[in-house]
Chains A and B, each alone.
Chain A
Amino acid sequence: MAAWPGEEIEERASDIAAAADVLLSRQAAWRHRRVETLTVLSHEQVRRQVSIDFTVPTEYRALLRLGAGEFAVPLAVLQKRPLVHFDLRDEEQRSVPLLTADQGRTIGRELLFQALDADLADQDADSEAVTLAAGSLIEAVLADDARRLEGRLDELEAAHGLEPLTELRGTADVLSRGFVVWAVVTALDRRRVLKFASDEPFTQRRDLAAFYDAIGCTEASSYHVEVAVPPDLRARTTTLYDDVTGEVLAAGARDADRPAIYYAVDPAQPTLRPGLVVSYGAERWRFLGPAAVVATVIALLVFPPWLFADLEDLAGRAGPAIGLVLSTSAVFSALVLRTDEHPMLRLMLVRYRLCLVACTLAALFAGAALGFQARPWVIDVTWALAGVVSVLCAGILIIAAARSPSVRSRPAPKRP
């Protein structure tokens, strides 16, 4: 009688784990290329699309067989948490199935025993007794009960007089926090490309720079990453670097709207915590340039008259004041009341928008003081405040516009 799918995995798990144990330890040896595309969806979410181009070596294929022409391929290790908008597809954009959590745990159990056996290979210990004693610890890891994992490993080592079980510790740590993504593919006799994607939530801080985890850059012999920058924003700098050592691994073009980085793994220099640092800036002529021009015009309309004009005399004639109020309000509305912006750009420009609002309100109150023919001291105070505020805001906006990126990208900086 044919085995049920769950039973097939029970039978095949140790073979799959034996092959996966080697393949996962030498990922760059059989994965030719990994391409990541990071799309900034909002100020709280990024979509990460990963494409993995690989060839499973011939001698491993039979071991990875699930039955009936299907094979299990370890694609990645993901953290145990709900996946948002997860998708796995092949070269022809067909959906690719995954092993279930239970099936993954069955193989995970074998991977943990493999790691323990590797630890025991160099030790003079009763490997049979240790293997049996480690059973409950391994089941706890698979049951997501990572409590006291270190303590339980210490107890196992002490009880059997073992050297540190480093291989088991490392594997147990990863499998208690994550799971292997097992893609079920139908053909392994040729080079394959599988693509997975998911949305990653994050908390936007005040900085205009972002650190994207790039753990995968060492998991293929070559790594390509590109960032789909939201409209009206630019990536001022894009750098792949190691957060632990501070070493720059690769750098992309400056002020680019889709910066791309290529990195080839150097097995002699392992990276500890690779990440992609992207520093964003709002395009100059999207808002900052026009806002600086408007603020400067307002400052010129308000500040020199406060210094040189006879405001009391002007108060008798409301025409210019009303014109000033109406024109500044119209420009202000056109620039500020935009709803079609990317949320990240909106967040980035909020302080500069407030500057323009302050500048416009200053002009509005100055014009109103004249228009309503307020008392001379009120006119003086209002215009003095308006003059100072408008000059200050114009200055801030001019500096921000001058420092913001233009629409032209520049080549990547040369590495030392």
Chain B
Amino acid sequence: MRIPFIRPKRPALYKGMSKDITYIPSGELAWPNRRPRTLEEALASRDRIRRVRANGARPS
């Protein structure tokens, strides 16, 4: 039972405390933690995708 004016004794910070206190979202999402790529790899990837599309028509 919760007694008015008496707050439960808890450590100031602990794991998962966002579930227990007022949570204010940022509205943002974190970009997935992916394996870092170089620009050359990304450009090669772009060219491969273009080639596949040209050969196999646009995926739909």
Contacts and interface: CB of A to CB of B under 8 A. Distances in A.
Interface in A222-240: 237, 239
B52 to A, nearest CB: 5
Contacts of B56: 128, 131-132
Contacts of A326: none
Interface in A1-50: 14-15, 17-19, 21-22, 24-27, 38, 46, 48
Interface residues of B, number: 44
B46 interface: yes
8 closest A-B pairs by CB: A135-B59, A170-B32, A213-B26, A246-B15, A178-B29, A117-B45, A18-B46, A211-B18
Contacts of A333: none
Central interface residue in A15, A243, A244, A279, by most chain B CB within 10 Å: A243
Interface string B44-60: 01101110100110111
Contacts of B55: 128
Contacts of B29: 77-79, 174, 177-178, 215
A104 interface: no
B51 to A, nearest CB: 8
A125 B31 CA distance: 27
B22 A202 contact: yes
Contacts, number: 175
A277 interface: yes
Contact of B42 (A19, A138, A170, A239): A19
6 contacts: A25-B37, A78-B28, A128-B56, A177-B29, A202-B24, A246-B15
B18 A118 contact: no
Contact of A174 (B32, B41, B52, B60): B32
A114 B46 contact: yes
B59 A59 contact: no
B1 interface: no
Interface in B2-60: 4-5, 7, 12-18, 20-39, 41-43, 45-46, 48-50, 52, 55-56, 58-60
Contacts of B45: 18, 21, 114, 117-118, 121
Given A216-B28, A351-B5, A14 B49 contact: yes
A110 interface: yes
Contacts of A200: 24-27
A18 B13 contact: no
A170 B34 contact: yes
Contacts of B12: 237, 239, 279
Contacts of B58: 135
B43 to A, nearest CB: 5
